[in-house]
Amino acid sequence: MVHGLKVAPAYAAPALLLSLLVRFDLPSPVPGISTGTITIRPSPSSALLWPLLLGAAAGAAGGLASARPILREGPGGGRTVAAALAGGWTMLVAALGLAFGGLLIHAAVSPRATAAYLRAVGSGGPERAAVALMHHLLVLPNQSLLVVAPAMGGCDGVYGSGFSVDLLCLTRFPVGVDLGGAEAPLRWPLAIPSLRTRPTPTPYLLFLLVPAVSAALGGRAAARRVATSSEALAAGALAGVVFAALFGAAVRLGSLRLGVAADLGGFGGGGGFAFGPEPLSTSLLALAWGTVGGALGALPGSRRLAASSGPLPSPAAQAQRGPEER
């Protein structure tokens, strides 16, 4: 595990160097109100710290993976931790995969929406369509995160300094944006649009199966890697803790974050916002789904291990055995 951490600096250094070279300058999007250019560039500190953390986490995970045989043959505590790590990872992968599968089913049963998407993608010609589809493939994990969070009871939204707007929740479904009347474009960007929502249609509640099934699969995977009934239940519940940590990290990394700094007449200011699930509440929901679902998923394996080990003989039966039988 310690040797695995050594890859982190070598992984982070190129990311930092590339962040110093990438920069885009765009004209002001509001002519007549503001002048000058907008500069878009990566944050050097984030370009260093996040790859460093990712490299350290991936290196440590690789070190633990190489030590799995030792952990499995070692004492129960190490075996339980290894099983919980495997179960938590199974929960995350299953949740993202099931969310994507649910979207594919939705596309199949909603041909009008699918046709509208394909028309929009192909409107610019085959070359632009290929580029758009490739970019969509790259963000499929992010898309699945945006599905799993509401399925667990959370919300996707836009969150910034002093404001928050929930866009998609388990019980609320967006249907449009109210710009505040015909005069709103004249007052932009001071006008604040509002989101029109309606109760979530009943068929969409089937997405509740995504966290339920993924948590059960993770608990089952954890229970298969231990030797006793009590270890199976503990590993299934601990897998939920691992799942919550992994999902919280995925939300933090998978959300779109934008920082803004401006200088107007010598007065500077700035702020930022993020688009995606709210990290803290979503992590707590993942913890609840993971621990309960993981324990329930590990229950059949726990019972199977208890049955295979059999009941312990009573003291009277042990006393009746001969020395050679003991």
3-state secondary structure 308-320: HHCCCCCHHHHHH
Residue type, 116: A
Query: Is the residue at 101 inside a domain?
Result: yes
Rounded to an integer, what distance in angstroms lies between the CA atom of residue 72 and that of residue 68? 6
Q: In terms of residue numbers, what domain contains 41?
A: 1-66
The predicted structure's pLDDT at residue 312: 44
pTM metric for this prediction:
0.77
Domain identity same for 171 and 196: yes
Final residue belonging to a domain, choices 14, 40, 66: 66
Q: Is 195 within a domain?
A: yes
**Which regions of the chain are under pLDDT 50?**
181-190, 312-315, 317-318, 324-326
DSSP state of 204: G
* 31: number of Cβ within 10 Å: 8
Indicate whether 42 belongs to any domain.
Answer: yes
Q: What is the pLDDT at residue 188?
A: 44
Helix (H) or strand (E) holding 26: strand 24-27
- Does residue 55 sit in the same domain as residue 29? yes
| Co-location of 206 and 286 in the same domain | yes
| 318 in a structural domain | no
Per-residue pLDDT, 43: 79
Query: Are residues 109 and 158 both part of a single domain?
Result: yes
Any domain includes 123: yes
Q: Tell me how far CA of residue 135 lies from CA of 95, 131, 138, 292, in angstroms.
A: 22, 6, 5, 36
Backbone angles phi, psi at 183, to 5 degrees: -85, -5
Same domain, 176 and 126: yes
Residue 179 lies in a domain: yes
Pick the closest to residue 236 from 211, 249, 250, 217 (CA basis).
217
For 170, which DSSP code?
A: S
Q: Which residues make Cβ contacts (< 8 Å) with residue 165, sequence separation at least 6?
A: 157, 158, 159, 195
Check whether residue 297 and residue 151 sit in a common domain: yes
**pLDDT reported for residue 181:** 47
Question: What pLDDT sits at residue 196?
Answer: 79
The structural domain count of the chain equals 2
Q: Which are the contacts of 285, defined by CB distance < 8 A and separation ≥ 6?
A: 149, 152, 153, 154
Q: Are residues 219 and 189 in the same domain?
A: yes
Residue 102: C-alpha distances to residues 148, 217, 282, 316 (Å):
10, 17, 20, 58
pLDDT at 256: 83
Q: What is the pLDDT of residue 295?
A: 95
> Is 127 a member of any domain?
yes
Does one domain contain both 4 and 133? no
Instruction: Identify whether residues 40 and 104 lie together within a single domain.
Output: no
Q: Do residue 173 and residue 43 come from a single domain? A: no
* Residue 317 located in a structural domain: no
155 and 201 in a single domain? The answer is: yes
Cβ within 8 Å of residue 26, ≥6 positions away: 37, 38, 39, 40
* In a shared domain, residues 61 and 106: no
